[in-house]
Amino acid sequence: MRWHLDSPSEGEASARSLAADPWTLFAGSSRSRSPQATAPPSSMAAQLPLPPPPPDPQFVLRGTQSAVHALHFWEGAQGQGHPLLLSGSLSGLVHIWSLQTRRAVVTLDGHGGQCVTWLQTLPQGHQLLSQGRDLRLCLWDLAEGRNTVVDSVHLESMGFCRGSILAGGQQHWTLAVPGRGSDEVQILEMPSKTSVCTLKLEADAKPGMPMCLELWQADSSPRPLLLAGYEDGSVALWDISERKVCSHIACHTEPIIGLDFDSQKARGVSGSAEKALAVWSLDEQQALQVCSTHKLTNPGISDVKIRPDRKILATAGWDHRVRVFHWRTMKPLAVLAFHSAAVHCVAFAANGLLAAGSRDQRISVWSLYPRR
């Protein structure tokens, strides 16, 4: 396992600025200097304390027996403030992990051996949604030790697109999933499965398939909105109530595979098959605009997540690495090079823990830049 800071080619600070900006990975630890920093004279080196050893993950979860494609923290599931970690695997299984015992406490099998691509718990606290490549979205009842599928939604298409939900009242919620047409998004009212609308860009836009979806709602408005990343590298903002697209911009030259949105700052980030992250914003007229792009060493971002406190974000890379950035400045903070195969997904817990799932069948759990 190797851990290092990003190289200067990815925008990491020089040795001088590192010394002036003492970020720490763990409370009380020292930040490693850039490998390009000038070594001190041998007489001084003898007096300097040795740097701490490279940090490992806090722990590693094994036992999925296939590649990990989805992760989600189930907050407060045990009623003691200790989250459980849910993982979805290539073999179609959902594992529920205790972070105290570091073992899988429940295994759910509802997708006929087809890859599980998305996991989400509902606000009620005991219901789980799992999406699989078997074209089923399963609703599980996990209350009081139960582990049964109580309902399911047949998906018209799958592609590579994960669903998204927006909680409404105590019993009602909105679901966005890929639609029947290859370039459509279907909006459903749940749990009744009532079709609200189908969203499709104008014919001459040719965005390709929707690749990732993010339902959200501004604090100042009751109208649900949808951000959709498409195969052509564009992002569109939809007003679901009006069934219209508010803004549509090009962010990447390759398909968007992961995006996340900070509704408080009206700012989002997306990753694609290319060697760059795009940061974009939403103004008061609901117009999207690209703010900046950030080059990466290697191509391919499978997933991107902003931590709930909006301080840092993490990306899952095809190059086996998890990269961590400062969300406000997009300054590269760290590269976590633990995994031996492509990292497919990342997830943050409310307490700041970061989990990463990989094709190497392992889940690494990290405590990085602890929340203050």
CA-closest candidate to residue 266, choices 248, 251, 282, 288: 282
> So what's the pLDDT on residue 369?
83
Residue 137 lies in a domain: yes
Output the six-digit token pair for 24.
């720490």
Do 124 and 163 fall within a single domain?
A: no
Q: Which domain holds residue 202?
A: 156-295
| β 173-178/68-74 pair status | unpaired
Do 160 and 243 fall within a single domain?
A: yes
> So what's the pLDDT on residue 271?
96
Do 168 and 130 fall within a single domain?
A: no
Do 124 and 198 fall within a single domain?
A: no
> So what's the pLDDT on residue 6?
41
Structural contact between residues 346 and 70, judged by C-beta atoms closer than 8 angstroms: no
Q: What contacts 66, CB < 8 A, 6 or more positions away? A: 89, 90, 91, 93, 361
Do 165 and 262 fall within a single domain?
A: yes
CA dist., res. 32 & res. 357, Å (int):
26
Residue 243 lies in a domain: yes
Cα 1 to its chain centre, rounded Å, is 23
Do 201 and 290 fall within a single domain?
A: yes
Residue 96 lies in a domain: yes
Per-residue pLDDT of the chain (372 residues; tens, 9 = 90+): 444 444 333 333 333 333 333 333 333 333 333 334 444 555 554 566 664 444 689 999 999 999 999 999 998 665 556 789 999 999 999 999 999 999 999 999 999 999 999 999 988 768 999 999 999 999 999 988 888 899 999 998 877 799 999 987 667 899 999 998 888 999 999 989 999 999 998 877 788 999 999 999 887 778 899 999 999 999 999 999 999 999 999 999 999 999 999 999 999 999 999 999 999 999 988 899 999 999 999 999 999 999 999 999 999 999 999 999 999 999 999 999 999 999 999 999 998 999 999 999 999 999 988 776
Do 232 and 173 fall within a single domain?
A: yes
Do 136 and 109 fall within a single domain?
A: yes
> So what's the pLDDT on residue 16?
31
Residue 58 lies in a domain: no
CA dist., res. 37 & res. 211, Å (int):
41
Output the six-digit token pair for 343.
């990292």
Do 143 and 216 fall within a single domain?
A: no
pTM: 0.83
Domain total in the chain: 3
Residue 51 lies in a domain: no
Task: Return the amino acid letter for 246.
Answer: C
> So what's the pLDDT on residue 14?
33
> So what's the pLDDT on residue 299?
95
Omega of the bond leading into 191 within 30 degrees of 0 (cis): yes
Do 186 and 271 fall within a single domain?
A: yes
Do 78 and 105 fall within a single domain?
A: yes
Domain boundary among the residues 246, 273, 295 is at: 295
Domain boundary among the residues 232, 262, 295 is at: 295
> What CATH number did the domain enclosing 105 receive?
2.40.10.480
> So what's the pLDDT on residue 48?
62
Residue 35 lies in a domain: no
Residue 8 lies in a domain: no
Do 274 and 174 fall within a single domain?
A: yes
Domain boundary among the residues 155, 175, 205 is at: 155
Structural contact between residues 254 and 237, judged by C-beta atoms closer than 8 angstroms: no
Residue 46 lies in a domain: no
> What CATH number did the domain enclosing 252 receive?
2.130.10.10
